[in-house]
Chain A
Amino acid sequence: MVLGLDVGSSYTKGILFDGHVRNKIVLKTSFKPKLAVERAVNELRGYDRIVATGFGRDLVANADKTITEITAFAKGASHIEPSVRTIVDIGGQDSKIIKVKEERVDRFVMNDRCAAGTGNFIEKIAQALDLSLAEFGQLAVNADRAEIIDSLCVVMAETEILSLVAEGKRLEDIVAGVCEALVRRIDGIGSQIGIESPILFCGGGALNPGLIRAMKRIFGAVTIPEHPQFIGAIGAALSL
Chain B
Amino acid sequence: MTDILTPRERFGLLVIDEKPDRCNTIPLITSHAASVRGMKLRDYYTNGENMARAQIAAIEKYGHDAISIFSEVGIIAEAMGTEFDYPENDLPIQRIPALEKKDINDIEIPVPTSDARLPVYLEAIEYAYDALGDRVPILAYIPAPFTTGMMLSEPNRFLIQTIKEPDHVKAVMEKSLAAAIELCYHAIDAGGLPIIVDPLASSSVISPRAYRQYALPYERKLVDFLHRYDLDVILHICGDTTPILDLLKETHADLISIDRVDLTDTIKKLSSTVRVIGNYDTSLLAFSSPEEIASGVRDMVKLSMQAPKGYIAATGCEVPIHAPFDNVMAFINAAKENGWYWD
User: Are A and B direct contacts in the complex by CB distance below 8 Å?
Assistant: no
Interface on A for B, CB 8 Å cutoff? none
